[in-house]
Structure formats: structure tokens, C-alpha cells
Amino acid sequence: MCRLLGYLGDPILLDSILYKPEHSLIVQSYQPREMTSGVLNADGFGLGWYHRNQDTNPFTYKNIQPIWSDINLPSISRYVESGCALAYVRSATSGQAVDLSNCQPFGSDRILFVHNGFVKNFRQTLYRQIRALFSDRTYQLINGTTDSEHIFGLFVNEFAAANLTLEAALRNALKTLAELANFEQVEFSANIIISDGHQLVASRFASKKAPPSLYWLQDDPNFPKAVIIASEPLFVGNWHSCPAQSIISTGEDGEIKIYPIL
């Protein structure tokens, strides 16, 4: 299981959410509290961020080393300032390669996507069924082999096919995933955070068992006028557990909206 983090609010230096909290994403990489499988997130990491006042696609930084061993990240995170960022640390599913093509966040134009979860026995179960649904553009977008990137492909398929909101496209993608998994009797979980630089949209969703943990925090004294979504609380605060089988979204106005998936 990976650990995820999304931030939307006033611009901050990235080290203020990556390093400074007592249970930061760095700490969660080697001492997670709520992972349902695995004990470490040592199979790489990735960051994605936006410059709010620039009409540019997001920037990413990825590495297949454990996040705690990257000697460049402390300096980069003290330099990069952003009002919207995603990050994750990876615990690779057995049999999945640890290489940059499988490293998140995945992206398409303005969209960034991170996923914590799995499709059980993905290559033997839903791999071909999911790929058969892709448009040619989506098919060409997939560079790696993970279930995570193929769930991202389902989202891109929906988002590109019609004039849908991020919430609607994610909901449709997850409903498709659930229908395929139900037909094949395959277990999956899909905690996801997506952004276009102006919104955070996340899901806490699973087929048979309780979904992995996911929390949200709004207007904390240390991060006023901001929303943070994370797999585990970063520090003591007024964190809320995201409802299971739901999508949570927020925009630049800070309003929190929650929708059922099914």
C-alpha cells in the first residue's frame, strides 16, 4: 500500500508538508501507522505541483529510491513553492517493476493522479479487459504496467470522452472498475487523489473489504485557507476520515463536497 498526500490552498514551500510535520510523508515511508499491507514504502516516490499564476502544465519529480535516501529532495522542497501539490510514496505490488514508468503521479495535460490500492492478480484478471476499453489516445498514454496507471487510464477515457467534471469522470471510471471486478470476482481498492491545479478530487473506495485510510483537514492554524487530503494525519489536528465508498472534492473556495460512488 502506498501513502498519498494532496494540498490545495495558499502557496507554501513543499518541505512544510513533506518534512516538517511530525508524521510527515517522509516518516510515513518508513513508519506508517495505518497501512493494511506491507510495512515500508521504499519503492520510490513522486511529487507533482502547479504554479497557480502560470498557464502551464504541472511539474513532476520522481525517483525509484526510497524518499528518505534522495539527497536532492530536501533542497528542492525548500525551493519549490506551490498552492497545489500531490505526493506519494510507493510500496510496490509483488511482481510489479520498480522503475520510473511505474512511478506516480501519472499525468495528462493539466491532470495529475495518484493511487493507493490494488487490483488483485491484475495481470491475470482485469489487465486485458481494462485495456480493451481505452481510446487510442488513452492507450498511447499508458507507459507502465501497474494497475494504478490503468485505473488512471479509465479516468482519462471518461474525462476526454465528454465534457465531464473531475468528480463525474472519476465516479464513472470507478463504476466501470467495480463492474469489471464484480464480473470477474476480483478484489480491488482505489484510494485516489486527482488535481487540475484548481481542485482536489479524491476517492476512498474498495470492493470487498474496508477501503484503506484517507483523511481530510481544512483551515488548520498551520495551514489556513487550505485543504489537505492524506492517507494518514500528518500532525495532531481536526482531521476527518473520508467516508468509505465516496468521492470528496474541494476547489479554491475551500468548500468540501462529498458524493457516493455507487
Asked if 28 and 116 count as a contact pair (C-beta separation under 8 A), the reply is no
Q: Residue 52 burial (CB < 10 Å; 0-12/13-18/19+)?
A: middle
Active-site position among 2, 84, 103, 242: 2
Alpha carbon distance, N-terminus to C-terminus of the chain: 24
Burial grade of 179 (CB within 10 A; 0-12, 13-18, 19 or more)? exposed
Residues 6+ apart with CB under 8 A from 181: 119, 126, 187, 188, 207
The three-state secondary structure class of 148 is helix
Query: Which residues are CB-neighbours of 93 under 8 A, at least 6 positions away?
Result: 118, 122, 146, 147
Give residues with Cβ within 8 angstroms of 110, minimum separation 6.
57, 58, 196, 197
Query: Can 2 be counted among the known catalytic residues?
Result: yes
Q: Are 14 and 77 in contact (CB under 8 A)?
A: yes
Q: Which residue has cell 528542492? A: 76
Q: Active-site positions?
A: 2
